[in-house]
Structure 1
Amino acid sequence: MTIRPGLRRCFLLALLPLMLLAACEQATTTASFHATEIRDASFGRELQLPDTEGRLRTLADFRGEVVAVYFGFLQCPDVCPTALSRAVAVKQLLGEDGKRFRVVFITVDPERDTPEVVRAYLDAFDPSFVGLVGSPEEVARTAKEFRVYYRKVPTGSSYTMDHTATTFVYNAHGKLRLAVPHALSAEDFAADVRRLLAE
């Protein structure tokens, strides 16, 4: 069956509003985060470690806040301080909403990173940052729950640590929503946090 050119034009003009509406709906529903979005994750569902004051902390403690969980160690030469400095910048970019952005730092080097030293280290970035320091067994269990990789790397008479540099971000309802790569800018990270605060 053939459609005459005049009818074809009328048919397409009649469809145009529907096509535009569909395009708008698609743009609304597929607007993406700058970080990797996570939905219905089978990992990172629980967290249970003592903080630097010895209190057992869980994800439920931070409900109402967007929480950024980062695994690192204090003698990290550049990756960890860069990640924490970015978190400080994100909090500043958020302005008043920065009060609802919480950073949780989990050490993967509990042999050297004592609670007192971790607290002093985080205070140099932001006193509101939470430090978690578990036993080697507790840290291993937590890292497994988050699918985080870490290992000791000998360096002569001492050692350093290889570790995953991803930041895991929960929305204010305690649901894991984002995996933030180390290279993401503070501006893009802050924009993602604003979206999560609006959820």
Structure 2
Amino acid sequence: MKLSRPVRAVALMALFAMAFALAGCQRDAQPQWRLTDVSGHLPDLDFRLTDDNGHAVTGADYKGKVVLMYFGYTHCPDVCPLTLTQLHVVMQRLGAPADDARILFVSVDPARDTPEIMHAYVNAFDKRAVGLIGSERDTEALAKRYRSAFTREPDRGDGAYDVSHSSAIYIFDRDGKARLLATPSAAQDDIVHDLHLLIGLGAKS
């Protein structure tokens, strides 16, 4: 039976409405990240280092937790303490879900950052922060793995020196997959928003 023009028009409109509804469902199924989505662009969380309690650890030891990894050092005069303070406030704002997250502070100054020094340093900021130390070779390899960089500046003559380093915050899901990239200047609201989503996704899977 041949449909009249008005009936055909109504049928077409219904089909378009259905298509838009389906497209909307697909969009809604994807997290609406506010930070930079790096899914599929950076490798999984993988390392062999020593934590601030002197224990050998690997990336697999943090499976099941959402991880925020940051490269820095305890003698850092500015960006490191500011970043760790920022992340502490983020953890506080997360509330109970923060127990499913960990801050991994990877030293780029293994010559001075012993486990004891790292332990005191990271715990001064947040109880969910873990200090990680490795050999210079291991540290360089890990930084290269995540396209980070650091350079030791010349000694000032008294054994004191600075280390210039990248300041990205790498965020991994519970399976150790790289998901998001933030900077110390990122809005706290955006970090809290995305961590809520990421922790929630893990809890449902």
Q: Is the 8 A contact 2:99 2:128 kept in 1?
A: no
Residue 195 (structure 2) aligns with: 193
Q: Which moved more, 1:43-52 or 1:82-91?
A: 43-52
Moved over 6 A (4+): 5-9
Maintained 8 Å contact 1:44/1:145? no
How high is the sequence identity, in percent, across the aligned residues?
Answer: 32
**Using the alignment, how far apart are the partners of 1:177 and 1:48 within structure 2?**
21
Q: Tell me if structure 1 keeps the 8 A contact 2:42–2:146.
A: no
1:43 aligns with 2:43: yes
Q: Which amino acid aligns with 1:194?
A: H
Question: Which residue matches 2:104?
Answer: 104
Residue 72 of structure 2 contacts residue 80 of structure 2 at CA under 8 Å; is this kept in 1? yes
* Residue 102 of structure 1: how far off its partner (Å): 0.6
Secondary structure in 2 matching 1:91: helix
How far residue 21 of structure 1 moved from its aligned partner, in angstroms, is: 1.1
Aligned counterparts of 1:72 and 1:103: Cα–Cα separation in 2: 12
SS in 1 for 2:193: helix
Query: Which ranges in structure 2 are unaligned for 5 or more consecutive residues?
Result: none
Distance 1:196 1:134, change over 3 A: same
Paired residue for 1:181? 183
| Distance apart, 1:156 and its partner CA | 3.6
The amino acid of 2:143's aligned partner reads: A
Shift of 1:43: 2.8
Counterpart selection for 2:165 from 139, 144, 163: 163
Partner residue in 2 for 1:72:
72
For these two proteins, the number of residue pairs brought into alignment is 196
Deviations 1:169-192 (A, max 9, x none): 111122111111221122211111
Report if aligned partners of 1:93, 1:187 keep a CA contact under 8 Å in 2. Answer: no
Q: Give the structure-1-normalised TM-score.
A: 0.86
Contact conserved, 1:51 with 1:115, CA < 8 A, in 2?
yes
- The one-letter code sitting in structure 2 at the alignment partner of 1:146 is Y
1:58 matched to 2:62: no
